[in-house]
C-alpha cells in the first residue's frame, strides 16, 4: 500500500491541464499563420499598381524561384526517395499552377473580385479533407466557410463588380489547385529530421523550375522593370513568397486543415482594406455587414464545434 502511494506521488505531474497545454500553442500558431493570408492580400494591389502589365508567368517565376533557392540554402536538405515526387506535386499545385493563375486572375479582374474567388478555398478544403484525409465532414466549419464566403462577397463585390471569363476561370482553377495542395501538404507532412524551411524551398523551387521554360517560351521577359516593379517583385518574393509560405506550411502541420483554411478569408479582407486606404474606396452598409460576417466566421471557425453526447446502452440520460 505504501509502495503504491510513493510510486504515484513520485510520478511527474504537470501543473497545466492537457487541454490548456494544447490550446495555448495552437492559438499562437494560428496568429502566426494568419500573417500569410494577410500578406497574400497585398498581391492584387502590387500586381495592378507595381508590376509590368501582361506578364503573369514572369510574375509567378519571380515570386517563386529566387525565394525557393534562398529557402534551399537555409534548409540545407534535398528531397530523398518518394519526396522527390511529392515535392514536385506540391510545387506544381501550390506554386507552379497557382501563382500564374493568381496573376492572370488579378490582371483580368478588379482586386476585390479576384480575391472573392479565393474565398471559395475553405469550402473546397472541407470536402477534400473528407475525400483525401478521410476526415469526418465538419459541419461546424463548413457552415462558417459558407458564411465567410458570403461575407467576403458582400465586402469586395459591391455593385460595380466587373466579371471577365478568363479571370473567373483562372481564379477558380487557382483556388482549386492550392486547396488540393494544402490538403496533400497536411496528408504527407514532412520527412523526419528535415526543417520546414527546406520543404518550402523544395516546393518554391519546383514551381519556379516549372515556370522558367514556360515563361521564356510563351511570354518572354518584360522589356523594362523600373524601381517600382523591382520593389513589387521583391515584396511578392520575400514577404508574400518565402516568409508567408514558410509560416503557412509550418502551421498546416500543426493545425486542423479546415481550421487553417478559414484563415484564408483574411486575404480578400486585406485586399478590400487596401482598396479603402490606398485607392480611396469606401465601405457602404452592405460591405460593413460583409466585413462583420467574414471576420466573425474566420474567428468562430477557429473554435471547436459543439460536442456530441454519446449515449451508452443501459445508461439513462438525466432529465
pLDDT tens digits for 250-279? 888 888 887 788 888 788 788 878 877 887
Q: Grid coordinates in use for 1?
A: 500500500
Looking at residues 63-83, what average pLDDT do you find?
Answer: 94
Q: Which residues of 114-125 are buried (b: 16+ CB within 10 A; e: fewer)?
A: bbbbbbbbbbbb
The mean of the pLDDT values for the chain is: 80
Instruction: Count how many Cα atoms sit within 13 Å of the Cα of residue 160 in the half-sphere of its side chain.
Output: 8
On the question of pLDDT at 238 being above 60, the answer is yes
pLDDT computed for residue 154 by the predictor: 76
pLDDT reported for residue 194 = 92
CA distance 272 to 152: 9
Q: How confident is the model at residue 9 (pLDDT cuts 50, 70, 90)?
A: very low
| pLDDT(179) > 60 | yes
Which tens digits make up the pLDDT trace of 21-61?
444 467 888 889 999 999 988 988 898 899 998 899 999 99
C-alpha cell at 117: 474567388
Model-level pTM? Answer: 0.78
Residue 88 pLDDT greater than 80, yes or no: yes
Q: Is the pLDDT of residue 225 over 50?
A: yes
The residue-averaged pLDDT of 77-84 equals: 95
Mean pLDDT across 79-98 = 95
120: helix, strand or coil: coil
Q: Which of 132-141, 153-162, 245-254, 280-289 has the lowest mean pLDDT?
A: 153-162
Long-range contacts from 208-214, C-beta under 8 angstroms, 24+ separation: 208/61, 208/64, 208/65, 208/66, 208/68, 208/95, 208/96, 209/65, 210/91, 210/92, 210/95, 210/96, 211/57, 211/60, 211/61, 211/64, 211/65, 211/96, 211/99, 211/100, 212/61, 212/65, 214/57
pLDDT in the model for residue 208? 96
CA separation (Å) from 124 to 31, 181, 235?
A: 23, 11, 28
Q: How far is it, in rounded angstroms, from Cα 242 to Cα 66?
A: 9
Instruction: Choose between 116 and 84: higher pLDDT.
Output: 84
pLDDT per residue over 113-128, tens digit each?
666 677 778 878 888 8
| Residue 2 pLDDT greater than 60, yes or no | no
Annotated domain spans of the chain: 28-139+163-257
The phi-psi region of residue 306 (left if phi > 0; otherwise alpha if psi is between -120 and 50; otherwise beta) is beta
pLDDT for 197 equals 92
Report pLDDT for 307.
56
Is the CA virtual torsion 46, 279, 104, 250 positive or negative? Answer: positive
Amino acid at each position: 500500500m505504501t509502495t503504491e502511494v510513493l510510486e504515484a506521488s513520485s510520478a511527474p505531474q504537470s501543473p497545466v491541464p492537457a487541454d490548456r497545454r494544447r490550446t495555448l500553442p495552437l492559438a499562437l500558431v494560428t496568429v502566426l499563420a494568419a500573417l500569410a493570408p494577410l500578406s497574400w492580400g497585398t498581391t492584387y494591389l502590387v500586381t495592378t499598381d507595381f508590376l509590368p502589365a501582361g506578364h503573369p508567368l514572369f510574375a509567378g517565376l519571380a515570386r517563386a524561384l529566387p525565394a525557393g533557392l534562398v529557402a534551399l540554402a537555409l534548409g540545407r536538405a534535398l528531397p530523398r526517395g518518394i519526396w522527390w515526387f511529392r515535392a514536385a506535386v506540391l510545387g506544381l499545385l501550390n506554386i507552379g499552377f497557382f501563382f500564374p493563375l493568381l496573376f492572370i486572375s488579378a490582371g483580368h479582374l478588379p482586386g476585390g473580385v479576384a480575391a472573392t474567388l479565393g474565398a471559395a478555398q475553405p469550402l473546397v478544403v472541407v470536402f477534400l479533407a473528407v475525400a483525401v484525409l478521410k476526415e469526418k465532414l465538419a459541419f461546424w466549419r463548413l457552415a462558417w466557410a459558407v458564411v465567410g464566403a458570403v461575407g467576403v462577397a458582400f465586402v469586395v463585390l459591391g455593385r460595380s463588380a466587373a466579371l471577365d471569363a478568363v479571370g473567373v476561370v483562372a481564379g477558380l482553377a487557382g483556388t482549386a489547385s492550392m486547396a488540393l495542395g494544402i490538403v496533400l501538404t497536411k496528408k504527407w507532412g514532412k520527412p523526419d529530421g528535415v526543417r520546414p524551411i527546406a520543404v518550402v524551398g523544395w516546393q518554391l523551387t519546383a514551381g519556379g523550375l516549372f515556370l522558367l521554360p514556360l515563361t521564356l517560351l510563351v511570354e518572354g521577359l518584360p522589356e523594362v522593370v523600373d524601381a517600382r516593379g523591382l520593389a513589387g517583385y521583391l515584396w511578392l518574393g520575400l514577404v508574400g513568397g518565402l516568409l508567408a509560405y514558410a509560416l503557412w506550411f509550418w502551421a498546416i502541420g500543426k493545425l486542423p486543415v479546415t481550421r487553417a483554411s478559414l484563415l484564408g478569408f483574411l486575404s480578400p479582407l486585406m485586399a478590400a482594406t487596401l482598396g479603402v486606404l490606398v485607392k480611396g474606396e469606401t465601405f457602404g452598409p452592405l460591405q460593413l455587414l460583409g466585413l462583420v460576417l467574414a471576420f466573425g466566421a474566420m474567428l468562430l471557425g477557429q473554435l471547436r464545434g459543439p460536442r456530441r453526447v454519446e449515449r451508452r446502452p443501459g445508461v439513462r440520460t438525466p432529465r
